[in-house]
Amino acid sequence: MVCQGSINCLALAYLADNISYRQRASAFGILAGVTSAAYVCGTLAARFLSTGLAFQVATFVSLFAVVYMRIFLEESIPADQGEGITQPILKEGEEDNIIQNDDNAPTKVPPFKKIPSLGDVIYLMKNSPSFAQAAIVAFFNNLGEGGMESSSMYYLKARFHFNKDQFADLMLIGGIVATISQLFIMPLLVSPIGDGRLLSIGLFASCVYAILYSIAWSAWVPYAAAAVSTVMVFAPPSLRSIASKQAGPREQGKAQGCISGIISLANIMAPLIFSPLTSLFLSEGAPFHFPGFSIICIAITLMIAFIQSLMIGRAPSTSNAENSTEV
């Protein structure tokens, strides 16, 4: 629980440190596709393994990932360079991490003293409009997605009496579609369309997906709506790419960490808002008869994210492609 969010955040930051500016959106999409493929494999394995064996296999795979990382992944910031890194994205023009001695020789501040504070994050939002807009999109998008995750199963079980096997089938279909789309379709569309338009297309598809759920008139509608996830999955990698391009080559961890923190906040708030609302409109004491009202509210939340994505500027980013390693 402690490491889940940070692992994804650091993986994105590491990828951004080693991928050129122009290829970053495609690389983020491929990483998301690999993650979706792992999700599908894990779901399949859980259906055939006992509970105790599933935990043992998961532990072994996690240990294998650590060994693989230590052997094959090189540090993106060498130890002899890490201590002298400046923070232009947070304190433009200020030398926060250098102290002048009496002999005017600069002394580097230890890295643990350069952890960005809440004030630094606020400064970043004020001085990078595109990053601030991306953060707003991240909040409303994940507020809607978190609401779908916390409400959709309850809604489908109450409306169409879905059982665990049907839920598993929906999860597998969504995971397989996401894997194919992110691995093979998104890299082909990034260059001609751009990550900004892909973000808007993905968010619009999310709105359509939520609306279809809210007005579902038969048990097959959720399965048909799963086809929309072919386009929905463009949004998260595109958003990460836009945020990444607003940060310098040595600041990817800070930028991705800020977005991850906002996403976590949205995921905490979503069940608190939408679960009681879903319960209310599925009960006999609903103010009016509309079982999918909470899902419509989720669609409105996603529409706010879509509208905000159209306003993300195309201003020059802080990141420079020449400072990234070509792969």
Query: What's the token pair of residue 164?
Result: 């665990």
Evaluate whether residue 279 is within a structural domain.
yes
Q: In the prediction, which pLDDT does 324 show?
A: 41
Evaluate whether residue 280 is within a structural domain.
yes
Q: In the prediction, which pLDDT does 302 show?
A: 97
Q: In the prediction, which pLDDT does 257 show?
A: 87
Structural domain range at position 213: 4-68+118-312
Evaluate whether residue 245 is within a structural domain.
yes
Q: Point out which residues pair with 88 in neighbouring strands.
A: none
Report the C-alpha gap between 160 and 267 in whole angstroms.
26
Evaluate whether residue 283 is within a structural domain.
yes
Report the C-alpha gap between 279 and 272 in whole angstroms.
12
**Residue 229's domain is classified under what CATH number?**
1.20.1250.20
Domains held by the chain: number: 1
Evaluate whether residue 202 is within a structural domain.
yes
Q: In the prediction, which pLDDT does 214 show?
A: 92
Q: In the prediction, which pLDDT does 266 show?
A: 95
Cβ atoms of residues 15 and 28 within 8 Å = yes
Query: What's the token pair of residue 123?
Result: 């400064």
Evaluate whether residue 271 is within a structural domain.
yes
Evaluate whether residue 152 is within a structural domain.
yes
Q: Which residues of 9-37 are buried (b: 16+ CB within 10 A; e: fewer)?
A: bbbbbbbbbbbebebbbbbbbbbbbebbb
Residues counted in the chain: 327
**How far does CA 282 lie from the centroid of its chain?**
30
Query: What's the token pair of residue 99?
Result: 């102290």
pLDDT in tens, the chain (327 residues): 677 667 888 888 888 888 888 888 899 999 999 999 998 888 888 778 888 898 899 899 989 999 999 999 888 765 444 443 334 444 444 434 433 444 444 444 444 445 566 676 777 777 788 889 999 999 999 999 999 998 998 899 999 999 888 888 888 888 899 999 999 999 999 889 999 999 999 999 999 999 999 999 999 999 988 888 899 999 999 999 999 988 877 778 888 888 988 999 999 999 999 999 999 999 988 999 999 999 999 999 999 999 999 998 644 444 444 444 444
Q: Which residues of 242-281 are buried (b: 16+ CB within 10 A; e: fewer)?
A: bbbbbbbbbbbbbbbbbbbebbeebbeebeebbeebbbeb
Q: Residue 50 contacts by C-beta under 8 Å, 6 or more apart in sequence?
A: none
Global model pTM greater than 0.85: no
Evaluate whether residue 219 is within a structural domain.
yes
